[in-house]
Homo-oligomer: A and B are copies of this chain.
Amino acid sequence: MGGDQGPATVVAGISRSAKKNPDVAFILHGPRDELERLVAKRRNLAGRCEIRDATDVVHMEDKPSHVMRHGTETSMWSALESVRNGEATVCVSCGNTGALMVLSMVRLKKLPGVNRPAIAVLWPSRNPHGFNVMLDVGADIRADAQDLLQYALMGASYARNGLALERPRIGLLNVGTEEHKGRAELKAAHDLIAANAEKARFDFVGFVEGGDIPGNRCDVIVTDGFTGNIALKTGEGTASLIGDLLKEAFEYTPLSRIAALLALTSLRRLKKRIDPRRVNGGVFLGLNGTVVKSHGAADATGVSAAVKLAFQLAQSGFSEKIAARLAAATSQLEDMKNEKDVAE
């Protein structure tokens, strides 16, 4: 209910998904009357869509702490509840990111051993499969070395299950690729991640730079949520500026207008390749249950892309795989600590 486009767009989106995927079913959360009216208009949703009445809505400007205390009647709360009690396999929301993160942490709880959950996004890149994974892009504004290691482990699992990469290449975002550069916690994280690469079946390429986020040096970019959020929005803003300038350029002369007509298919292909709606959906990692956060402004195509991603992750059983991976790394760290204690 809390997305910028309202529930009609969400219903239009899930209707698209339902057409494409016969195995997906939905539980919608919000005012029953309104949702029943919207669903009734889409014949292909008949029998595939339950509704849970929720009268309240989390608004974009609501503070997460306020939602936590007073949000029990909201559609967001109800949606997470359905994952918590096992009715739904995964939650998709277009709402307030901060509130969704805090509610997810409180209601679904963090996986054992996870200190800070993370939000991972897919990023158009020069990789053969077309995308890189970046995390964290804004679940938390800080991360220590131990958190960055967990992001690497969770990101590797995501790349394996979401992008089907057997042995993902992990990079740690820094201001230079030389090992002497950057903040102290990054140097510590560098060594921790390197030590875990073999056991967790990923390749660690070391430090990477901003230019590698859309590049082909690695598949997963690990960073703190402050830096990741700035990078994500800078990339989106740059792409959007270039797109608009391109449009302007093609409208400049009669000749260029003809060119635009001739190149229409090629330009559409390019647009599709870098269209953020096609990779719509940040995934919350490190929780007991999967939550996919769609863009607040997502249209029906965007909602449908988020549902597709949610379905893939749910089917791969990826939440359980991350839990197992983190448990292994945690016990390894404990062993290392104990050995050190014994040695001392």
Binding site for B on A (CB under 8 A): 61, 63, 124-126, 138, 141-142, 173, 175, 178, 180, 182-183, 209-215, 223, 225-227, 229-242, 244-246, 248-250, 252-253, 255-256, 258-263, 265-267, 269-270, 273-274
Contacts and interface: CB of A to CB of B under 8 A. Distances in A.
Contacts of A273: 245
A185 to B, nearest CB: 11
A244 B50 CA distance: 46
Contacts of A225: 175
Contacts of A230: 173, 175, 209-210, 223, 227, 230-231
A311 to B, nearest CB: 28
A214 B233 contact: no
A234 B235 contact: yes
Contacts of A262: 255-256, 258-259, 262
A181 to B, nearest CB: 8
A170 to B, nearest CB: 17
Contacts of A180: 63
Given A238-B238, A259-B266, 6 more contacts: A183-B226, A209-B230, A211-B240, A235-B238, A245-B273, A256-B263
Contacts of A232: 210
Contacts of A141: 175, 182-183
A15 B173 CA distance: 39
Nearest to A63: B180
Give the residue among A126, A242, A253 with the most B Cβ atoms within 10 A.
Answer: A242
Nearest to A210: B233
A263 B242 contact: no
Contacts of A240: 211, 214
Give the residue among A223, A240, A249, A259 with the most B Cβ atoms within 10 A.
Answer: A259
A132 to B, nearest CB: 11
Contact of A259 (B183, B211, B212, B260): B260
A242 B241 contact: no
Nearest to A237: B211
A261 B262 CA distance: 11
Nearest to A216: B241
A14 B124 CA distance: 38
B241 A270 contact: no
Contacts of A233: 209-211
A288 B164 CA distance: 55
Contacts of A63: 180
B242 A142 contact: no
A246 B263 CA distance: 11
Contacts of A237: 210-215, 235
30 contacts: A125-B241, A141-B175, A141-B182, A175-B230, A209-B229, A209-B233, A210-B230, A210-B231, A210-B233, A210-B234, A210-B235, A210-B237, A213-B234, A213-B237, A213-B238, A214-B240, A227-B227, A234-B238, A235-B238, A242-B242, A242-B274, A245-B270, A245-B273, A249-B269, A249-B270, A250-B266, A255-B263, A256-B263, A258-B262, A263-B263
